[in-house]
Amino acid sequence: MSKPIVAIVGRPNVGKSTLFNQIGKKRVSIVEDFPGVTRDRIYMDAEWLNHQFTMIDTGGIEIETTDDMLTSMRYQAKIAIEEADVIVFVVDGRSGITNADEAVAHILRTTKKPIVLAVNKVDSPNREMDVYEFYKLGLGEPIPISASNSLNLGDLLDGIVEAFPDHAEEARETDEISIAVIGRPNVGKSSLVNLIIGQQRSIVSDVAGTTRDAIDTHFVRDDTKFILIDTAGMRRKSKIDLPVERYSVMRALRAVDRSDVVLMVIDAVDGVTEQDKKIAGYAHEAGKGVVLVVNKWDLIEKDDKTSLRFTETVRDELGFLQYAPVLYTSALTKQRVHRITELVKYVAEQQAMRIQTSVLNTLLMDAISINPPPAHKGKRLKILFMTQVDIKPPTFIVFVNDPELMHFSYLRFLENKLRDSFGFEGTPLKLVVRGRK
Ligand code: GDP
Ligand code: GDP
């Protein structure tokens, strides 16, 4: 089931990223030990009153073609309208309404999507008078907040979760493997998808009851059922009236959320982009399977080491995705395109693999005897027991004498041992450390 997406828009310096980080701090994280990816975030999973959602700071989305603030803001507002379930428009209570605010409000008034108007930098209650002027934007009741002082954020979050659509999401057939095809424009996504489903008897069906206009394509291959997510949206291209279609981050994140396996398509000539890295990081943290497809391989002059070198570069750039298989394709010559669904199926099986506890603990004892946990401040970590508690992604609980003594590098060592023994190719693993009470 996919979580609602909340997009934060507003002009520079109103406090969007401060707000984003404050809301992020409130999140209740169950799994603390999952090796994270630290970089500038544009998305974050958050939770309020048992509502989980994904928050996007549109200010962080790269706009390649313009330095013009107003153009960027219009673009950000439009992608928010196209992709988000709720839009939070942030304005600055100190500066009052500016022309840029009015321009964005003008665009936002054209959508039926719920908009929450946050007036930031209202740092003390006696400044709440400042907010009334913002009724003029015609976007409903302004909510005064102070992001930096964490004031009134509860009211804001209440407003956000109240606006969530109650979508009775379609119950998905569990034996279908859903695939999200991700990559910047022009890498060959549509060409590959058309080749994949062109070879099949494909049934295209509308997803009813969703606010989004995604169309999923269901198809069967070698007795396996697949769903391609939002491929129509990909073929239709974006509705955004800008010269070049851009990488729609929100559509990508939404597709990743709904997928089992992400096909990350990379251009053999251009390589990995920053936006690819961000989305790959999201897929990793969300526990999705990943297959890296390097397309347009026909355009590369090759010797016997070219693909090896390319794989090294890709692994360097996507450091946390060491486990993802890399496939070199050409939609032009159809080289290896038929292998894509095979590999997706393989990764989906790896994600769903369960290892018996007895087998795990034999492995654990071996690992410990080869490489005993180092002592820390005179105390030694003792690993007592390990068990797999979930699949998709495979999730393990490691019981220890004292979780504080577990070092990241030792967890990494255990993860590598699991991979050496069982494969788990293409899927992230979660290792959760617990002290025994
Ligand atoms: P963004 O460009 O919209 O992401 O804005 P930032 O989050 O980077 O904030 C811009 C500036 O406003 C920073 O100097 C923040 O410290 C400051 N700021 C953010 N929230 C508040 C607030 O609630 N009150 C005050 N006084 N300053 C704030
Ligand atoms: P999308 O925007 O990612 O869906 O990319 P398209 O599938 O629309 O492809 C963009 C352009 O790249 C088109 O002109 C395709 O014909 C071309 N193209 C796609 N795949 C290949 C490939 O493997 N080799 C070559 N040489 N061109 C390709």
ipTM: 0.65
Q: Is 183 annotated as a binding residue?
A: yes
- What's the CA-to-centroid distance between 96 and ligand 1, angstroms? 15
Q: What does each C-alpha distance from 159 to 5, 139, 156, 174 come to in angstroms?
A: 14, 13, 5, 34
Q: For residue 393, is the peptide bond before it cis, meaning its omega torsion is within 30 degrees of 0? A: yes
Q: Is 58 in the pocket of ligand 1 (CB under 6 A)?
A: no
Question: Which amino acid type is present at position 138?
Answer: G
Question: Which amino acid type is present at position 23?
Answer: I
- What's the CA-to-centroid distance between 217 and ligand 2, angstroms? 20
- What's the CA-to-centroid distance between 116 and ligand 1, angstroms? 18
Q: Is 12 in the pocket of ligand 1 (CB under 6 A)?
A: yes
Low-confidence ranges of the chain (pLDDT < 50): 1, 26-40, 168-173, 200-213, 232, 235-245, 437
Q: How far is CA 325 from the centre of its chain?
A: 19
Q: What does each C-alpha distance from 13 to 10, 90, 95, 153 come to in angstroms?
A: 9, 10, 11, 18
Torsion sign over Cα 417, 175, 30, 324: positive
Q: Two tokens at 348?
A: 């989906």
Q: Is 186 in the pocket of ligand 2 (CB under 6 A)?
A: yes
Q: Which atom of ligand 2 lies nearest, measured to the CA of 234?
A: 4
Q: Is 18 annotated as a binding residue?
A: no
Cα 63 from Cα 68, distance rounded (Å): 10
- What's the CA-to-centroid distance between 393 and ligand 1, angstroms? 37
- What's the CA-to-centroid distance between 147 and ligand 1, angstroms? 7
Q: How far is CA 422 from the centre of its chain?
A: 26
b/e per residue 301-317 (b: at least 16 CB within 10 A) = eeeeeebeebeeebeeb
Q: Is 14 in the pocket of ligand 1 (CB under 6 A)?
A: yes
pTM: 0.66
Looking at residue 171, what is its pLDDT? 42
Cα 181 from Cα 197, distance rounded (Å): 13
b/e per residue 381-417 (b: at least 16 CB within 10 A) = bebeebebeeeebbbbbbbbeebebbeeebbeebbeb
Looking at residue 41, what is its pLDDT? 54
Looking at residue 207, what is its pLDDT? 41
Pocket of ligand 1, candidates 18, 98, 145: which has the most ligand atoms within 8 Å of its Cβ, to mutate? 18
User: Which residues neighbour 89 within 8 Å (Cβ) at sequence distance 6 or greater?
Assistant: 9, 10, 104, 105, 108, 115, 116, 117, 118, 137, 139
Query: Hey, is 212 helix, strand or coil?
Result: coil
Q: Is 37 annotated as a binding residue?
A: no
Looking at residue 2, what is its pLDDT? 59
Domains, the chain, ranges and CATH? Answer: 5-163 (3.40.50.300), 176-352 (3.40.50.300), 357-435 (3.30.300.20)
